[in-house]
Structure 1
């Protein structure tokens, strides 16, 4: 369950106290030379919870391998805010967390790489096991149910994580039980029709 930090992110990206980040997208000119196509802060920003977290979609793809010809991937990423993850695709999402925020327990059917960009976070698994991650630390979450707690400044400062979500085959336990996606209170922000 979300708690603390209600109303913290009122103006959008970036969250108060965190740096503005810029993405640079490259492509090719008519001669095939690499060029910069755009420099911005991302196409999609979404405030989550009671203004407690902010998702910045850096990029997403809806297929693997990615078709970059005629800028097909660029157009899709610009025109479509992704779900939590794309079947057969990828999502690169940066999250700003309010001070002391605890995310809902959730599971995705994806391979998730979580990188601490700014701050300190506790990763809590549904088994009760925990780990503390600091700036530069990385989690490799293989479909596990989990929650994040922002510990930055003893819970008094915002923090930032970067997530790369890659689609996976269904996760099945040794007993043959399929562990499906469970988003809890996050569902309204990521489930797409």
Structure 2
């Protein structure tokens, strides 16, 4: 059984400076070939975030482009928040993102593999600080979906790995 859709509530300000709700809606996810769903909740093209920018960058990401307009959803020039729902038994390919990511396991388990061969199984409530490392995700559960909330931020380049990611290709999900 898949997970319920992600609800995104966004706040802002009225013209006279009072706090208000700007939107409240279910997020339409981007579905990968193996059924993995990515729901883009918020994105900004740079840090610090401009809280007066009315553009909804998350909608641009949901159409397959990062906030810089590029096709790579996994390397962002600013910051992005998304939910990733991974079907039972699904896995990603080994990939590197040139970002710093906070990964919160909302529903686990989820296995993270490093290119060194190391693996860890993360459970519901665990947090992973992903520092531009090459990794793969695996949902080891035979019948339950996993959900990750991921905040992706730009980071300084890692000189020893910068060359391998210059092609800008986005990592894909495989079954």
- Structure 1 SS opposite 2:148: strand
CA distance in 2, matches of 1:46, 1:86: 17
Give the total of aligned pairs. 162
1:165 counterpart = 2:152? yes
CA gap 1:180/1:112 in 2 versus in 1, 3 angstroms: farther
5+ residue gaps, structure 1, are 1-15, 188-193
2:172 counterpart SS class: helix
Larger radius of gyration: 1
- CA-to-aligned-CA distance 1:60-106 (integer Å, 9 cap, x gap): 1111122232x33x34443454222322x011111111101111110
Task: Verify the 8 A CA contact 1:106 1:146 in the aligned structure 2.
Answer: yes
Q: Residues 64 and 184 (structure 1 numbering): CA distance in 2 closer, same or farther, change over 3 Å?
A: closer
User: Once superposed, what is the RMSD of the aligned Cα atoms?
Assistant: 2.1
- 1:19 & 1:139 partners in 2: Cα distance? 23
Q: Is 1:93 the equivalent of 2:82?
A: yes
Q: Does 1:46 align with 2:46?
A: no
TM-score (norm 2): 0.82
Match of residue 59 from structure 2 = 78
Structure 2 SS opposite 1:172: coil
Q: What displacement does 1:179 show?
A: 5.6
User: Distance between the aligned counterparts of 1:183 and 1:119, measured in 2?
Assistant: 28
